[in-house]
């Protein structure tokens, strides 16, 4: 029998090391989830562990001038014939280019399937070796260069098994693009990210070659294009033919016009998911001809022009809309079943502005009245509270599952009460306690009136049981008998009491409602 050594140097006679008795394959699978440096260090535990790490299926390394040579030497002990994934981050290497090449060759010689190379902190000239461009095993490839570098394959590209490719670099020539596309016959997902250049004209135009829009890219099922805010995308005069494209994401394509968007959509007959982030020039997003489109995400930035915008999307089932200025009008979303809405740090400096904001959010809410799932952000709810305080009528909702993504405070309670009262079919309610409000409370104080005596301390450090209980009780009182489950997600500062202690204080608790109090990590909308 083995002996296990305790922290106080006592030995437990007859104890069995269950972990060490596991098969190598299981131990190697476990080690693939920890940093490779830690996995290698397990070789010092005992003779049993000396060679276990040598066949871990996944390796992740961060190297610099001081460590790259020793890492190369250590990896000579690796004996697996096939590698699942290899992630290499090169931070600061001056005179060790050959070691970088060796690490890439090491991964490719072990028939790696998922390869990730990150050179974003590598400020010295580095040219990817020719052998990098030929691999029958790679299925997923991610290459990140800093904004001064580009990918220039001088040889032919042959990634015959590649299905997913992500490239981040300063630019990509037409010739390089042609070689890459021709060498990836079964490529399904392509991500192109062109960050802000350091030593180039800020107002630079990046024009994708005409062949990119035609048959050479017709096999794509997913395409992501991200430009920096000083670039723009110029849609060519040729027709777009992405006949297999199901998911399209465009980010920071600042001058993408209605005409260009229409041309892109006309060439995507099977498009199912569209994401537009910070594409500020669109005025009318008409998706009425995109018959298969089911999911739409639109995210605008604070600096966007505050002009009116329209969304015509009669076929979508899911909408995520982050609109800082509440400038979008939902013209047609008749098939919508799920929506997530939020605005940003809007200015409430006059009664006329308050009138505009409440009209816009209530118009949106009216368009969503048939949706079964709603997620509303804190600023959106505060404007609803403003409308409720001023006596503006709300539409009746058919929502069955609602998420209130906000910290609960007095400026949100009127809107929340009205939402719950106007949701007779609500079955599941989730509240996510989050950070401080953005809308200036000085203006809201002008309209605020206390309702039902509910209280909440915005400082979670001093939160009391009665503060949480008062809000939970308010929600229970305003929900219908159909409510089956309420989930309250709070920051760790609130977790000073048990769920059963909270429930014991509730006078309006319905025994048929399951109440869950849980901690959460703050997540951006």
Q: Read off the pTM.
A: 0.84
Centroid of chain to Cα 74: 36
Q: Is residue 494 part of a domain?
A: yes
CA distance 105 to 99: 10
Q: Is residue 440 part of a domain?
A: yes
Backbone angles phi, psi at 486, to 5 degrees: -125, 130
CA distance 117 to 141: 8
Q: Is residue 23 part of a domain?
A: yes
Q: Which residues contact 504 (CB under 8 A, 6 or more apart)?
A: none
Asked if residue 517 lies in contact with residue 490, where contact means CB atoms within 8 angstroms, the answer is: yes
Q: Is residue 524 part of a domain?
A: yes
Q: Is residue 273 part of a domain?
A: no
Residue 478: how many CB atoms within 10 A of its CB? 19
Say how many domains are in the chain.
2
Q: Is residue 288 part of a domain?
A: no
Of 56, 84, 105, which residue is a domain's last?
56
From first to last of its 525 residues, the chain has per-residue pLDDT tens of 344 444 444 444 544 577 888 888 888 888 888 888 888 888 778 888 888 888 899 999 888 878 888 888 888 899 899 999 999 998 876 666 788 899 999 999 999 999 999 987 655 667 899 999 999 999 999 999 876 677 889 899 999 999 999 999 877 888 999 999 999 999 999 999 987 655 554 445 567 888 888 866 668 899 999 887 555 565 667 889 999 999 999 998 877 888 889 999 999 999 999 999 988 778 899 999 999 999 999 998 755 555 678 999 999 999 999 987 788 899 999 999 999 998 875 555 555 577 888 888 999 999 999 999 999 988 888 889 888 888 889 999 999 999 998 876 777 888 899 999 999 999 999 888 765 445 555 555 555 544 444 444 444 545 567 767 777 888 888 887 788 888 877 666 555 667 677 777 776 556 677 777 776 554 444
CA distance 468 to 230: 47
Domain, as residue range, for 516: 388-525
Q: Is residue 278 part of a domain?
A: no
Q: Is residue 215 part of a domain?
A: no
């Amino acid at each position: 029998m083995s002996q296990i050594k305790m922290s106080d140097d006592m030995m437990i006679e007859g104890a069995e090391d269950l972990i060490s008795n596991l098969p190598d394959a299981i131990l190697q699978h476990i080690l693939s989830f920890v940093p490779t440096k830690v996995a290698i260090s397990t070789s010092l535990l005992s003779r049993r562990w000396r060679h276990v790490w040598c066949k871990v299926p996944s390796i992740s390394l961060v190297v610099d001038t001081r460590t790259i040579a020793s890492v190369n030497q250590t990896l000579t002990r690796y004996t697996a014939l096939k590698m699942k994934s290899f992630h290499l981050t090169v931070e600061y290497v001056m005179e060790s280019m050959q070691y970088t090449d060796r690490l890439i060759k090491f991964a490719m010689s072990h028939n790696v399937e998922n390869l990730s190379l990150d050179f974003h902190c590598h400020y010295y000239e580095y040219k990817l070796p020719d052998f990098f461009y030929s691999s029958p095993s790679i299925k997923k490839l991610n290459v990140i260069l800093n904004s001064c570098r580009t990918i220039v394959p001088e040889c032919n590209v042959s990634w015959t098994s590649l299905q997913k490719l992500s490239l981040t670099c300063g630019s990509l020539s037409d010739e390089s693009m042609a070689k890459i596309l021709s060498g990836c016959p079964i490529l399904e997902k392509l991500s192109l990210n062109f960050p802000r250049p350091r030593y180039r004209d800020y107002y630079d135009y990046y024009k994708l070659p005409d062949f990119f829009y035609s048959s050479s890219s017709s096999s794509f099922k997913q395409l992501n294009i991200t430009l920096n805010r000083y670039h723009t995308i110029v849609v060519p005069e040729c027709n777009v033919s992405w006949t297999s494209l199901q998911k399209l994401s465009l980010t920071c394509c600042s001058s993408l016009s209605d005409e260009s968007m229409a041309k892109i959509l006309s060439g995507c007959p099977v498009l199912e998911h569209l994401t537009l982030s910070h594409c500020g020039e669109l005025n009318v997003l008409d998706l009425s001809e995109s018959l298969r489109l089911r999911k739409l995400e639109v995210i605008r930035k604070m600096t966007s022009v505050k002009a009116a915008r329209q969304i015509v999307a009669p076929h979508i089932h899911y909408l995520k809309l982050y609109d800082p200025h509440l400038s979008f009008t939902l013209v047609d979303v008749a098939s919508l079943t799920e929506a997530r809405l939020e605005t940003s740090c809007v200015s409430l400096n006059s009664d006329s502005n308050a009138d505009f904001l409440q009209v816009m959010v209530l118009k949106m809410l009216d368009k969503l009245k048939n949706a079964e799932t709603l997620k509303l952000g804190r600023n959106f709810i505060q404007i609803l509270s403003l409308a409720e305080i001023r006596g503006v009528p709300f539409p009746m909702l058919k929502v069955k599952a609602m998420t209130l993504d906000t910290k609960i405070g007095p400026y949100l309670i009127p809107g929340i009460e009205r939402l719950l009262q106007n949701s007779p079919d609500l079955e599941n309610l989730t509240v996510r306690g989050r950070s401080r409000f953005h809308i200036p409370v000085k203006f809201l104080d002008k309209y605020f009136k206390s309702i039902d005596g509910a209280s909440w301390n915005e400082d979670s450090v001093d939160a009391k049981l009665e503060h949480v209980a008062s809000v939970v009780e308010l929600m229970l009182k305003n929900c219908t008998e159909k409510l089956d489950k309420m989930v309250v997600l709070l920051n760790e500062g609130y977790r000073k009491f048990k769920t059963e202690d909270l429930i014991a204080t509730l006078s309006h608790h319905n025994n048929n409602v399951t109440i869950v109090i849980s901690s959460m990590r703050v997540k951006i909308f």
